[in-house]
């Protein structure tokens, strides 16, 4: 008999969010186990050859790793396809899921940049990515390829979630004037599968993570904390 699937997670991981979003979109019940990536349990090291989350334990007790094959597996085994029928469109969607991973790498470069110069370079690279993306989005919306929701939406919702936190303390301007992207972002932020993909503490957890980076972004966040506490005292 098959058991409920388990998503092996980390609270902040955007790749884990992709799988959580797809499971919710499919209304598939699942359990979650959270891993401390700084202290990985032995069973996890055995089940995850790259030492990364997400990991999906299927109902038959098999472990799958890497978010792209995990979400494709979920798409093929649970009712309600999130990939287009046409092979050429499906290939294009897969490419934009990979594009989302490159944008996530760019966000990593942004929050890890030690100096302003590297921070500005990371910002410029992200701006180029989003200018390209703007032209790919169906202007009618509400999602990447219009309606319905697709795996590309599941891949970009966690990308936009970073900006929801960053926008509070830094004016990045990477999405400025990109109307299709902004509309898409706002729509995704309200989607129940996106909302429930992270814990309620996500925003504060991400801020704590960013403070610990000892990077230019950590410095900007600290400056904003100082300004906020000075305002609160007056
Ligand atoms: N290509 C992988 C990327 C997953 C990934 O980078 N996961 C990070 C957390 S967001 C991780 O587990 N890193 C291992 C570590 O920090 O030791 C996927 O798509 O699943």
Percent of the chain with pLDDT over 70: 100
Q: Judge contact between 1 and 26, C-beta under 8 A.
A: no
Q: What fold does the segment set 87-195 form as a domain? A: Glutathione S-transferase Yfyf (Class Pi); Chain A, domain 2 (1.20.1050)
3-state secondary structure of 9: strand
> What's the CA-to-centroid distance between 16 and ligand 1, angstroms?
8
Residue nearest (by alpha carbon) to ligand 1 atom 9 = 13
What is the predicted pLDDT for the residue at 231?
84
Q: Which residues line ligand 1 (CB under 6 A)?
A: 10, 13, 15, 37, 51-54, 66-68
Can you give the residue ranges of every domain in the chain? 5-77, 87-195
The CA distance from 18 to 24, in Å, is: 10
Angle, alpha carbons 188-193-195 (nearest 5°): 70
* CATH number of the structural domain 5-77: 3.40.30.10
- Going by alpha carbons, the residue nearest to atom 11 of ligand 1 is 52
Mutational pocket test of ligand 1: of 15, 99, 197, 198, the residue with most ligand atoms within 8 Å of the beta carbon: 15
Q: What is the pLDDT of residues 129-186, one digit of tens each?
A: 999 999 999 999 999 999 999 999 999 999 999 999 999 999 999 999 999 999 999 9
Mean pLDDT for 191-213 is 97
CA atoms lying within 13 Å on the CB side of residue 36: 4
Closest CA to 172 of 111, 112, 85: 111
Alpha carbons 230 and 228: distance in angstroms, whole number:
5
How crowded is residue 102: how many other Cβ atoms within 10 Å of its Cβ?
10
Residue 88 banded pLDDT, cuts 50, 70, 90: very high
Residue of 11, 52, 162 to mutate, ligand 1, most atoms within 8 A of C-beta = 52
Chain mean position to CA 185: 12
Give the H/E segment covering residue 8. Answer: strand 5-9
Work out whether strand 30-34 and strand 5-9 pair parallel, antiparallel, or are unpaired: parallel
Who's near 15: CB < 8 A, 6+ residues apart? 52, 53, 54, 67, 101, 104, 158
Q: How far is CA 137 from the centre of its chain?
A: 18
Query: Which numbered atom of ligand 1 lies nearest the CA of 40?
Result: 17
When pLDDT is cut at 50, 70 and 90, the band that residue 1 belongs to is: low
Which conformational region is residue 97 in: left (phi greater than 0), alpha (psi within -120 to 50 degrees), or beta?
A: alpha
Q: What is the DSSP track for 169-188?
A: T----TTTT-HHHHHHHHHH
Q: How far is CA 141 from CA 87, 131, 152, 161, 185, in A?
A: 22, 17, 13, 19, 10
């Amino acid at each position: 008999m098959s058991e409920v699937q388990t998503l092996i997670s980390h609270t902040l991981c955007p790749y884990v969010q992709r799988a959580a979003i797809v499971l919710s979109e499919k209304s598939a019940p699942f359990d979650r186990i959270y891993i401390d990536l700084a202290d990985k349990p032995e069973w996890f090291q055995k089940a995850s050859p790259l030492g990364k989350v997400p990991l999906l334990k299927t109902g038959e007790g098999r472990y799958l790793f890497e978010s792209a094959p995990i979400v494709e597996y979920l798409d093929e085994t649970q009712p309600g396809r999130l990939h287009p029928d046409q092979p050429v469109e499906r290939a294009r969607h897969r490419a934009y899921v990979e594009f989302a991973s490159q944008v996530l790498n760019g966000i990593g470069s942004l929050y890890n940049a030690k100096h302003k110069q590297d921070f500005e370079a990371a910002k410029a690279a992200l701006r180029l990515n989003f200018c390209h993306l703007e032209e790919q989005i169906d202007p009618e919306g509400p999602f990447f390829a219009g309606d319905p929701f697709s795996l590309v939406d599941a891949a970009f919702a966690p990308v936009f979630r970073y900006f929801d936190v960053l926008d509070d303390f830094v004016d990045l301007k990477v999405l400025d004037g990109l109307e299709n992207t902004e509309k898409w972002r706002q729509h995704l932020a309200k989607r129940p599968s996106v909302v429930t993909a992270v814990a309620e503490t996500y925003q504060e957890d991400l801020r704590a993570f960013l403070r610990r980076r000892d990077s230019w972004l950590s410095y900007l966040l600290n400056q904003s904390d100082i300004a906020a506490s000075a305002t609160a005292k007056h």
